[in-house]
Amino acid sequence: MALPLAAGADAFAATFGMIALGAVLRRTLLREDPVWAGLEKLVFFVLLPALLVGSIGTVELARLPLGGLATTIWGTLLLGTAGSLALARVLGHGHAAATSVLQGGIRYNNLLAFAAAGALLGPPGIAMGGIVTGLIVPMVQVITTLAFALDGANRPRPGRLLKQIASNPLLLGCAGGFLLSLAGGPPPGVSGLLRGLSQASLATGLLCVGAALTPGALADRWPTQALTAGFKLLLMPLVALGLATLAGLAPLAAATAILFMAQPTATTAYVQARAMGGDAPLMAAMITSQHVAALATLPFWALLLAG
């Protein structure tokens, strides 16, 4: 699928412009932490799930290459998990830092991914992005939860693990979207509401991404940051490209999978690292450095897809 270069330039200018605006607002007009904490909860628990429900709910699942897409996404994540843990071992990190390298290597910023897919691929890209998210979220949640639990001192409890996965708002949004799709799509009164919430999710979410960046953390263990960023932003989408080619994915599905794998790590990874015993300062540093590096790598992947 050829991507128009002018549309790509507009997409990244608007996307990173919103992130920059969030960073400026956090340090000028809206300095209060509770304001951004409330906005982040709104996005995570309401707006982004609504985007997933609305985007997946309009897709005809029977016409999707789910087998090839699952092979591409899950294969990339499994290889990424093995590579991230190997990288952490080579760098000599302990368990806490290794979980941050893992999160930096396989998690992705879904808001940035939807913004890029929508701007570059249009509404079909957002719909396909919902399917891709439905494949990514359960796998990533299982991998990261197990990684935090397997620290030698604790063992994962199956009941708690299932509860964490089943109560994830993103996973619930995916499930709701699949059910709506099987039912024939959202009813007339609901579709407008979902559309409005979906539009609000991207703008509000990107502002929150900018507000969460911490430039002062960039000096923390920069070799680990640089190697993890290269792994996430260059190697992971390259693996996705190879697997999509082997699976014979159609251009739209392949382009969406590659774009999602090319995103910087999730800003919520810091919250998870702090809550589950990871290396939160290293995670904060990697979140910031990867989003800065993505200014160059995401346009690179867009140009590659355009070719």
Whether residue 307 is contained in a domain is answered as: no
Residue 175 located in a structural domain: yes
Q: Which of 54-68, 144-158, 194-208, 211-225 has the lowest mean pLDDT?
A: 144-158
306, part of any domain: no
> What does the pLDDT look like over 129-160, one tens digit per residue?
888 988 898 888 788 878 887 765 556 667 76
Higher pLDDT pick, 124 / 145: 124
pLDDT of residue 2: 46
The fraction of the chain above a pLDDT of 70, given in percent, is 91
Does the pLDDT of residue 11 top 70, yes or no? no
Asked if residue 127 belongs to a domain, the reply is: yes
Residue 97 burial (10 A CB sphere; 0-12, 13-18, 19+): buried
Average pLDDT of the segment spanning 171-180: 86
The region of weakest confidence among 96-110, 122-136, 161-175 is 161-175
Instruction: Inform me whether the pLDDT recorded for 3 exceeds 60.
Output: no
Q: pLDDT band at residue 16, thresholds of 50, 70 and 90?
A: confident
Better pLDDT: 198 or 13: 198
pTM summary value: 0.81
pLDDT at residue 189 above 70?
Answer: yes
Residue 307: per-residue pLDDT: 63
- Residue 157 in any domain: the answer is yes
- Domain at 121, CATH number: 1.20.1530.20
- 25 part of a folded domain: yes
134, burial (CB in 10 Å: exposed 0-12, middle 13-18, buried 19+): buried
Predicted confidence (pLDDT) at residue 69 exceeds the cutoff of 80: yes
Exposure string for 236-270, b = 16+ CB within 10 A, e = fewer: bbbbbbebbeebebeebbbbbbbbbbbbbbbbbbb
pLDDT in the model for residue 274: 73
Answer whether 232's CB lies under 8 Å from 104's CB: yes
Question: Highest mean pLDDT range out of 3-7, 21-25, 143-147?
Answer: 21-25
How many domains does the chain divide into? Answer: 1
Residue 10: pLDDT over 70: no
Helix (H) or strand (E) holding 222: helix 222-230
Domain holding 257, by residue range, is 5-301
Residue 245 has pLDDT above 90, yes or no: yes
pLDDT at 154: 55
Beta carbons of 263 and 113 less than 8 angstroms apart: yes
Q: What is the reported pLDDT for 200?
A: 87
242 pLDDT above the threshold of 90: yes
Strand ranges, E, within the chain = none
Distance CA 112, CA 117 (A): 9
Query: What are the structure tokens assigned to 191, written together?
Result: 């579709």
Out of 13-17, 81-85, 284-288, give the one with best mean pLDDT: 81-85
